[in-house]
Amino acid sequence: MLEHLTTETRNEKTMNLDEMSIFDFLTTMNEEDEKVASAIKKELPSIAKAVEAIIEAKKQGGRLIYIGAGTSGRIGLLDAVECPPTFGTSPDEVVGLIAGGEKAFIKAVEGAEDSKELGMEDLQNIRLTKADIVVGIAASGRTPYVIGALEYANSIEAQTIAVSCNKGSDIGNVANIAIEVVNGPEVLTGSTRLKAGTAQKLVCNMLSTASMVGIGKVYGNLMVDVQLTNEKLVERAKRIVMEATSCTYDTAEEYLAKANCNSKLAIVMILTGLSYEEALHRLEQTQGFIRQAIVN
């Protein structure tokens, strides 16, 4: 029942929320938000296991699939759509699914989250395979849509991860790996878009960023696979090349042009003296890892 869930209990600090001054409420809210990072720290071993599983799935050609309802679904979608511009992935490599479909990102679709069958069908519709890895997100940990998705993924032997904000969650019991971040009650009772939503976003940040590092999408702490889709990103790419190679702005601009706007190739060309074709072959040999490509 809901009353037994940490995410649904009342916060003793805000029992008189409607009588608090704005500053006092904001101070209390800020203090509660500070608890999120500490709660996530306790789950780092589980998050590390999840990252390892995602890396392994990606190396086998599998997709990272986030699935959730409401706020949880929107957070998964947000992380998914940021991966192509940040890491140069194709749109189908990291996928976000939300109960009720894309229209539910803007307006809630009533009842969609209550259907286990819909969760299964949404994964079937994207032709889920055992090579893929599914991350089910639900603050309460009991959303039928997510449970149905995870159960279906398990049935075809795809790896599954659950992200919730309650211990002993239903989705955690279904998934291969459970990440259960307990932040305590929300300042506004049951409003899991607050601390729970923040926790889910931070966990998704970790899952996608750490796994992309693990498959060679980063050199040092530089976004070397960033897609140059606007002027700001073109300039960022030049700075990335400059930082990675200690070259001048003009040299970075020159080699980006030679590398067809591919930051990784430009970096390898500068650091090794290889031609475009040779640098491309070297990166293919090292599965895209710059650090390995420049020492071969």
Task: Please write the tens of the pLDDT for every residue from 86-119.
Answer: 999 999 999 999 999 988 888 877 778 889 999 9
Q: DSSP 3-state assignment of 60? A: coil
For 49, 52, 56, 181, the CA distances from 210, given in Å and listed in that order, are 11, 9, 12, 18
State how far the Cα of 59 lies from the Cα of 238, in Å rounded to an integer. Answer: 29
Write out pLDDT tens, residues 33-68.
Answer: 999 999 999 999 999 999 999 999 999 999 999 999
Output the pLDDT for position 2: 61
For residue 1, pLDDT beyond 60: no
Kindly report the number of other CB atoms within 10 A of residue 296's CB atom.
9
DSSP 10: P
Residues 141 and 71 sit within 8 Å (Cβ to Cβ): no
Residues 12 and 32 sit within 8 Å (Cβ to Cβ): no
Check 113, 180, 186, 253 and give the catalytic one.
113
Per the annotation, the verdict on 82 as an active-site residue is: yes
117 Cβ partners below 8 Å, 6+ apart?
148
Q: What is the reported pTM? A: 0.93
For residue 296, pLDDT beyond 90: no
Q: How confident is the model at residue 5 (pLDDT cuts 50, 70, 90)?
A: confident
Distance of alpha carbon 124 from the chain centroid: 21
DSSP 219: B
State how far the Cα of 53 lies from the Cα of 281, in Å rounded to an integer. Answer: 28
Check 82, 151, 243, 254 and give the catalytic one.
82
- Residue 38 has φ and ψ, to the nearest 5°, of -65, -40
Cα pseudo-dihedral 258, 260, 263, 266, rounded to 10: -20
Kindly report the number of other CB atoms within 10 A of residue 79's CB atom.
23
